[in-house]
A and B are shown apart, each in its own frame.
Chain A
Amino acid sequence: METRELRIASGRGRFVDDIHLPGMLHLVFVGSPYAHARLVRVDASAARAAPGVATVLTGRDLLGTTDPLPVLAQLKALGWEWRECEARPLAVDKVRFFGEPIAAVVAETRDQALRAAERVEAEYEVLPAVTSARQALETGSPLLYEEWGDNVQAHRTYRWGDVDAAFARADLVVPVSWREGRASGFPIEPRGCVAVHDPVMDLLVVRGSIQCPFRARQTLAHVLRRPVNRVRVEAVDIGGTFGNKINVWKHTVVAYAALVTGRPVKWLESMREFIATGPHQRDVSWEGEAAVTRDGRLLGLRCRLVQDLGVEVSNRGYAGGSLPAACCALPNAYRIGALEVDAYGVVTNKSFYCAYRGYGKDKGIRFMERVMDRTARACGLPLHEVRRRNFIGPDEFPYEQLTGYVYDSGNYPAVLEKALDVARWEEWREKQREARERGRYLGIGLAFLVEPAGVASANVTSGIAQARIRLTPDGIVEVYSDRTEVGQGAEASHRKVVAQIVGLRPEQIDVPAVTSDVAGIGPVSSRGSVYSLSAVVRAARKFRDKLALLAASLWREEACGIEIRDGVVRSGADPEKALTLAELARKLYFVPGPRGLTEDLLLGDDYLPEVSATWFSPNTAKHPSSTYASYCASADVAVVEVDVETGVTSFLDYFHVHDAGTIIDAEAVDGQIHGGAAQGIGEALFEELVYGEDGDLRTGSYTDYLFPTFVDVPPMETAHLETPSPFTELGTKGMGEAPSIGAKAAVISAIEDALSPLGVNVEEAPATAQRVRGWIRKASNQRRSGGAP
């Protein structure tokens, strides 16, 4: 049996750009060179006349026949002050971010489309750009949406417990500031799709690098004013997502082009377009203070969060939910009696916010880890001890966290102890002491986190999941789910689990590519192993029981005696009697009766070998405020050396300990850990989207937006614990995001640990070499002038 991995490694991947259909056209977008401007006029006449051009579409062309992009998230119902606006895939009379598409050129070849795109003329009235959240909040700042009166898209002040009382009781008040630069995933394959309209069946098919086909279909149908059942979305091989391919908005224009030209249309954006107009993330600033006791216990926290959403956050992708997640995930693994978060989501002239590994919870978690590190230093405690003193205990689960999340299970002290053990923490501390004596700055950093996974909020990210299993007429078992294969091993995982539960050989199972036919919001929020897998497990059990029932009926015996082993169905009454799946299928489909199945089944309403199942988080159903189904735990230890002359941070060692409940495939879990950690390291050291004053993107390609190469990522040691979730079918928990959340925090912690003798507090990521040198210089100047660091 050829696995997906073997097929792709042998060069036979089937990604979007590999699709070739007769008569296929190529679409290229024309993007605005300005971050903020009135779009006075677009003249496509010269472009239309260019060689090979089939059509050129502008925003105005689409006005009469399409609807604006649908609003995907709305926080008013959750108690937020919330603003909305209209957004269309092609700008109509205003552009609001560098690269925002103003036209689409469709031609016979990509080259012809690119050349014709240069002939599209547009007239702009440039407006002053808003390029930071700080600027967005200033009185008199330019406005992105004039009708709003300011640039605040969302605001809420959360208050849990009595914060004033907590501060009155505190022995120490620890101030903490933390800023994360703008970043995102930008996997090596950009976004793309091929749209085809079949006029005979009146079916619009969009095939692409699309993370959530069922959800994508809704947006396409809505914008194009088609019934949902006349649109089909299919995922092909996908070159990485990390949440960056949930959004489906440019795809509506590709589909529109297919409808108006009557020909297939392919679009694969350039990497520069992906970076300039793709979903952005991070870009938050936290200012707060923690009320703590002398022995390092956290009594309360009061803080302000400002998140830079770029343009409106609810039309192109759904990131509205990232704000409440940042606030509610803030307590992390710790007991806390009082919490106040004044949270703002502001709009600026940058690309829209959507999802990238972490989504919203990562921000709260990393801020809390900064609070822990600072509290440790203020109280003279080791980094691990302060966490130990604030941990939720292993006997307290399910634990109702202050913010409404109900943590299903966990053993935090065990994970921490394992991490310290695997990392040989005390040995490294000794080496650090010796190194300091020789003028070298080693740092040992720690991050501990609880990753909430498997979201179901009262919003478009509500967590439905469906699975279907069917025996085909020639004896193959098909497994359908919403868990799009994006490289995380969904296909292999489902094959393995179904084989085990039903009693099949892996090669008898086909896991077809995910399409919009199956209901579910897709592999977002690490929910694949929570929602999708649980639905598949349920379906597998039903399927096994159904095959046994049908075989027993054929053999006129009791179903409970039927055994399915090694892909063969065996009689319980007569060990000689057995049917291969192909034989069973032939009987069921082609000679079910008479003299086949018993009368009761034939006259019933369900005699075919197929089943369907759904799954929803019992955690969330019982506790609606616990929007996540499962909560895994992990600890990262990073050992670094900071060169104080150059500011460069290099790795000496790296460790990750993970407890994601039941492990189905250890190799896949480790793969997520390595990859996630590499991303976190990239964000800690290099990755930042930088805008100029007029809103032009300075870091527009891989040349400037630097993510880790082979030499930047250290070898990593991983270890696993398994505290199963009581809520999922196999006890699995989602874990894909934790490694990136933890790695960034651990590396920052390590740099701060390395530079603490110099009085440096790390308050910003990425800790580029330039920034590190600046911090060292500043701390040195403060020391010389007698000021406190």
Chain B
Amino acid sequence: MNVRIVTEVNGQTRELDVHPGTTLLDLLREQLGITSVRRGCEEGQCGACTVLLDDRPVYGCLTLAVQADGRRLTTVEGLPTPPGGVHPLVQAFVDHHGLQCGYCTSGLILAAYALLRRNEAPSPQEIRQSISGNLCRCTGYVNIERAVAAAAASKTAGEWPR
């Protein structure tokens, strides 16, 4: 019943046997132990399970693992990081108090990463609209916007690792 897929996970090519009904969320968490991808509503509303599929943010709970065949998956663990360092986007979230409980944070970081890839200098309105598919219950989003704006500035200034 299982299907073999070949997918690049955080820069590493993996050959995996997956049940066709397995979601990306379950593949990443249960089969690959990548726990930054979180289980929230599991119905495509909260975005805690956000994963980048070929640089596009998708809900891991609504995407089948087989859809990752021949494609790239990126989670927070896979963001390019200087040796012994922290990705500037992650640092911006910490510096601007953009997380409280932190449960939604991985998903938000990936959504922000995807936004800044497309649009290096988003307006506050663009930041809000692009990331409105990710829910946060703790922060009221105010500091998240500041964190993303700060990260955008550091990207424009060339401070991001390649």
Contacts and interface: CB of A to CB of B under 8 A. Distances in A.
B86 A671 contact: no
B145 to A, nearest CB: 8
Contacts of A508: none
Interface in A1-53: 3-6, 8-13, 15, 17-18
Nearest to B124: A715
A5 B99 contact: yes
B12 interface: no
B36 A187 contact: no
A189 B103 CA distance: 7
A560 interface: no
A710 B129 contact: yes
Contacts of B63: none
A733 B104 CA distance: 28
Contacts of B82: none
- B: contact size bracket: 35 or more
B119 interface: no
Nearest to A681: B140
A270 interface: yes
A186 to B, nearest CB: 8
A473 interface: no
Nearest to B89: A9
B7 interface: no
Contacts of A667: 97
A653 B100 CA distance: 24
B128 interface: yes
Interface string B69-108: 0000001110000000010001101100111111111100
B46 interface: yes
B102 A8 contact: yes
Contacts of B76: 9-11
Interface residues of A, number: 54
Given A11-B35, A710-B131, A674 B105 contact: no
The secondary structure that dominates the B interface is loop
Contact of B103 (A13, A489, A675, A701): A13
B137 interface: yes
B35 A13 contact: yes
Interface in A677-713: 677-679, 701-703, 707-711, 713
B32 interface: no
Contact of B29 (A3, A17, A270): A17
B132 interface: yes
Interface string A475-492: 000000000001111000
Interface string B15-36: 0000000000000010000111
Contacts of B45: 701-703
Contact of A703 (B43, B133, B139): B43
A173 interface: no
B129 to A, nearest CB: 6
A242 interface: yes
Nearest to B127: A710
Contacts of A435: none
Given A702-B135, A715-B124, A271 B40 contact: yes
Contact of A668 (B40, B97, B136): B97
B35 to A, nearest CB: 4
Contact of B137 (A18, A242, A716): A242
B40 to A, nearest CB: 5
Interface in A710-746: 710-711, 713, 715-716
Interface stretch (A119-127, A233-241, A383-391): A233-241
A724 B66 CA distance: 59
Contacts of B93: 5, 9
A239 B103 contact: yes
Interface string B102-142: 11111001000000000000001001110111111111111
Nearest to A716: B142
Interface of B: 29, 34-36, 38-43, 45-46, 48, 75-77, 86, 90-91, 93-94, 97-106, 109, 124, 127-129, 131-145
Interface of A: 3-6, 8-13, 15, 17-18, 185-189, 237-242, 268, 270-272, 486-489, 667-668, 670-671, 673-679, 701-703, 707-711, 713, 715-716
27 contacts: A5-B94, A5-B97, A9-B106, A10-B76, A11-B75, A11-B106, A13-B36, A185-B137, A188-B41, A189-B40, A189-B103, A239-B38, A240-B101, A270-B42, A670-B142, A671-B97, A671-B100, A671-B139, A675-B138, A676-B140, A702-B41, A702-B45, A702-B135, A708-B141, A710-B128, A711-B132, A713-B142
